[in-house]
Amino acid sequence: MKKVINLWPVLAIGLLTSGLVQAQDKVMIGQPNWGYAKAMTNIIKIIAEENYGIEVDMVPGNHAVFFKAMDQGNGEVDIHPDLWLPNNQALIDKYVDENGTVALTSVTFPAFDGFCTTQAAKDQYGLASVYDLTRPEIAGLTDRDGDGKGEIWMGAPSWKSTKIHQIRARDYGFADLYDLTVSEETVILSQIDADAKAGRVIVWACYSPHHIFGMHALVVLEEPDHDPEKWNVADLDAPDWLESSYVETAFPQITSQIAYSRRLETDAPGMVKLLNGITLTAQIINDWSFAIGVDERDPAEYAREWVDANQELIQSWLTD
C-alpha cells in the first residue's frame, strides 16, 4: 500500500510566501522612522489590543512601500499612521481615488513645512526671509567645507517634501548658491543642535510639529503666502520632475492623516473606528518627538506610560 503524503503544509508555506494567502487575524502598522511616529504606532497597538482584542504588529518602511502593501490588501501592511498632505497627494490620487483600495481618516493634526534658521542668525545677520538666502554673505556663513557654496538641508531621501523644497530653492532664486543636501533627519538634527549651541548660522528645511522647536530659539523664514497659481508640482517620480515643476510660494495648509487598507473595514472594524477617532495637538506630537528623539526613550515603554496617563483622551477617541 502506497504511503499518502500530505502536501498541504508545503503548499501553504508556498502560498504564504507568494502572498496568495495571508493571515487576517493580525493588523500590521507601517512604522516610519521619525520619532513621534514610532511612539504613535506603539500607542495605536496598545489601544487596539486592549480595547478591541486585535493583535497588532509593526513593520518599518516608507510611504511608497506602505501604500503598495495596503493596495494589495493581504495584510502585509494595513496602516500608514502619518501621511502629510498635500505633500503626498499623488499617493492619494492613485490608491484612494483611482484604485479605491486605501481609505483616509479626517485630519489627525495640522502641520507646516518651510525653511528655518536660529533666532541668533536673524538678529545678527538679518536672516528673516527666504529671499535673504540669495545674499552671498548668508551663503558664505553656511559654507561648512570651504567650497564656496553654502549648505541647506532639503530633507530625507524618501520624503516628497524634499523634492518640493528643491524646486522652491531654485524658484526662490537661491539654489545655485548652496549645496542642497539630502540625508536622513538624524544627521541634520545633530548639526542643528551643535550649530545652535555654538552660535553658527544654519538653515534647513523644517517642519512642525517637531521637538527641535522646544530645544532652541528658532525662526521660520518668511515667504509669500500660498498662491495656487505658483504651485505647480509635477509627478515627483518622473525623471523630469524638477524641470517640469514650478513652485515660488509657501506650502498650502498641511495636514497629517492616517491611511489604511480598506480590508480593515470588514476584517477589523474596531481598528477603523479607533483610527477615525484619533485627534492630536502639536504639543502632543512635540512631546512624543522629544521623548523618542532627544530622551531616547524606548518607544514601546514610552507608549505604555503615555496610554496609562491619558485614558480620558483615549476614551474620547473610542467613543466619538
115 φ, ψ (degrees, to nearest 5): -120, 140
What is the structure's pLDDT at 205? 98
Query: Cβ distance 70 to 101 under 8 Å?
Result: yes
Query: Cβ distance 292 to 38 under 8 Å?
Result: yes
C-alpha cell at 212: 527641535
Given pLDDT bands bounded at 50, 70 and 90, which one contains residue 105? very high
CATH class of 23-110+254-319: alpha beta
What is the structure's pLDDT at 9? 39
| Residue-averaged pLDDT of the chain | 91
For the chain, the structural domain boundaries read 23-110+254-319, 112-247
**Mean of pLDDT values over 231-245:** 95
Closest CA to 261 of 26, 14, 17: 26
Lowest-confidence range among 15-19, 119-123, 154-158, 309-313? 15-19
d(CA 175, CA 47): 46
C-alpha cell at 294: 532627544
* Residue 257 backbone zone (phi > 0: left; psi -120 to 50: alpha; other: beta): beta
Q: Is the pLDDT of residue 16 over 60?
A: no
What is the structure's pLDDT at 251? 96
Given pLDDT bands bounded at 50, 70 and 90, which one contains residue 277? very high
pTM: 0.78
Residue owning grid cell 526613550: 297
Query: Cβ distance 156 to 183 under 8 Å?
Result: yes
What is the structure's pLDDT at 302? 98
Which tops the pLDDT comparison, 87 or 250? 250
CATH class of 112-247: alpha beta
Q: Do the domains spanning 23-110+254-319 and 112-247 agree at the CATH topology level?
A: yes
* pLDDT tens digits, 48-98: 999 999 999 999 999 999 999 999 999 999 999 999 999 899 999 999 999
Lowest-confidence range among 10-19, 202-211, 294-303? 10-19
Burial track 44-68 (b if 16+ CB lie within 10 A, e otherwise): bbbbbeebbebebebeebebebbbe
Given pLDDT bands bounded at 50, 70 and 90, which one contains residue 294? confident
d(CA 11, CA 28): 24
Q: Is the pLDDT of residue 7 over 80?
A: no
Q: Is the pLDDT of residue 23 over 70?
A: no
Given pLDDT bands bounded at 50, 70 and 90, which one contains residue 320? low
Percent of the chain with pLDDT strictly greater than 90: 86
Q: Which residues, 6+ apart, have CB-to-CB distance to 89 below 8 Å?
A: none
Burial class (CB in 10 A: 0-12, 13-18, 19+), 86: middle
Q: What does the angle CA 180 – CA 113 – CA 204 come to, to the nearest 5 degrees?
A: 35
Q: Is the pLDDT of residue 34 over 50?
A: yes
Given pLDDT bands bounded at 50, 70 and 90, which one contains residue 186? confident
Cis peptide before 86 (omega within 30 of 0): yes
* Residue 114 backbone zone (phi > 0: left; psi -120 to 50: alpha; other: beta): beta
